[in-house]
Amino acid sequence: MDYIRQIRKKIGSDMLLTVGCGVILEKGNSILLQHRKDEDSWCIPGGLMEIGETFEEAAKREVFEETGLIVENLELFGIYSGENGFATYPNGDKVYGIQIIFQSKVPEGEIRTNKEESHDHQFFETGSLPENLTLRQQAFIFDWQSCAKRPIVK
């Protein structure tokens, strides 16, 4: 996030184009979601790419930072853009994000919640997703819920 901080020093809260990478982690018929502190909403583990990272490296790093899990065997789930990519964070920062989403099975290991970013991690079955999903992630979480198993460009 050092790159984003450096850019924010120059442009303030103006609109910034970002590339986010996340992973839909499955366990049986359930998805692992994290309850974010900054937006009080549920989302998949993931975050912004750093300069020089590949999409896959960014996704793996973010999952590890947020859950303590080491993921392998990532498959591309979808590439998402469009109206839902716009966001204004509680601190006033504006972004337009492109999302590169992977899918994987939950690896062995104990999930550790990064208390700076999240309240909790929970598994949700396809029919019992929480109502307060992060708006920018609803498209791919709903695609997962409806069993859209092929990479989708939206």
Q: pLDDT tens, 82-93?
A: 988 998 988 899
Give the three-state DSSP class for 38.
Answer: coil
pLDDT score, position 129: 95
Q: pLDDT tens, 63-79?
A: 999 999 999 999 999 99
Task: Look up the pTM and report it.
Answer: 0.89
- Taking the CB of residue 96, how many other CB atoms lie within 10 A of it? 14
Give the whole-angstrom CA distance, residue 147 versus residue 29. Answer: 10
Mean of per-residue pLDDT scores for the chain = 90
Find the mean pLDDT for residues 111-125: 87
Find the mean pLDDT for residues 104-129: 88
Q: pLDDT tens, 25-56?
A: 999 999 999 998 878 899 999 999 999 999 99
Domains of the chain: 2-153 (3.90.79.10)
pLDDT score, position 1: 56
Q: Are strands 16-27 and 30-36 parallel, antiparallel or unpaired?
A: antiparallel
Q: pLDDT tens, 50-64?
A: 999 999 999 999 999
Q: pLDDT tens, 126-151?
A: 889 999 998 889 999 999 998 855 55
Give the whole-angstrom CA distance, residue 137 versus residue 95. Answer: 14
